[in-house]
Amino acid sequence: MSRHDFHGEWNYTLHPLAPLDTPHTPDIADVGEDHRAAAYHPALIGMTPDALTCLTPELTSAWNQQLEARRHDRRGGERRHALGGGGVAKLELTDRIVAGLLHLRFSMLSPLVGQLLGVSRITAARAIKHVLPLLERRGRTAMPSGGSGRYTPSAPITC
């Protein structure tokens, strides 16, 4: 602030300040591979990377059948166009399995799962919703009926 000589006491000029360095709040798009790698950590998902690699092919056919059944119900009948149409999936089946395991083990909510996997909370919630029946049919990862409602295995799940 500085005074003008011409008007004396009552006329001031306020000089602009340099912009403050505001901390950057990360956006969903800013999530890097390091967060996704953290989501795959064996301590979080309760499985070794080899066990997860074994589990994914076991659930692939059931996942494809479930996906096609959902689409059939939504369409109200058989496929009208050739394969290959539609959008690109934001999460692969392995990512969806990890989302389901995080939800089962820690009752982790979809915004946090989405943040770890680099997707929106809606995408994470849908992934959890669609993969839970497959994991429960598998038998090894179903939530216990009593207690805290969290799946806490005594040993990591193996293939």
Give the pLDDT confidence score for residue 24 in this predicted structure.
Answer: 58
Residue 147 has pLDDT above 50, yes or no: no
Give the list of residues 6+ apart from residue 13 with CB closer than 8 angstroms, or none: 1, 2, 4
Residue 145 has pLDDT above 60, yes or no: no
Reported confidence tier of residue 13, pLDDT bands at 50, 70, 90: low
Closest Cα to residue 125, out of 90, 87, 76? 90
Residue 134 has pLDDT above 60, yes or no: yes
Higher per-residue pLDDT: 140 or 29: 140
Give the pLDDT confidence score for residue 144 in this predicted structure.
Answer: 45
Q: What is the chain's mean pLDDT, rounded?
A: 77
Give the integer Cα–Cα distance in Å for 41 and 145. Answer: 26
CA 159 to chain CA centroid, nearest Å: 24
State both tokens at 118.
């680099």
Residue-wise pLDDT tens digits, 20-78: 666 655 555 555 566 788 888 998 888 899 999 999 998 998 888 888 888 888 888 87
pTM greater than the 0.75 cutoff? no
CB atoms within 10 A of CB 39: 21
- Mean pLDDT value across residues 124-132: 94
Q: In terms of DSSP H, where are the helices of the chain?
A: 33-39, 42-45, 49-75, 93-106, 110-117, 121-138
- What number of CA atoms fall less than 13 Å from residue 131's CA on the CB side? 26
Give the integer Cα–Cα distance in Å for 29 and 85. Answer: 25
Give the pLDDT confidence score for residue 94 in this predicted structure.
Answer: 93
Reported confidence tier of residue 98, pLDDT bands at 50, 70, 90: very high
CA 15 to chain CA centroid, nearest Å: 47
Give the pLDDT confidence score for residue 102 in this predicted structure.
Answer: 92
9-18, 56-65, 108-117: which has the minimum mean pLDDT?
Answer: 9-18
Closest Cα to residue 105, out of 36, 153, 145? 153
Give the pLDDT confidence score for residue 113 in this predicted structure.
Answer: 93
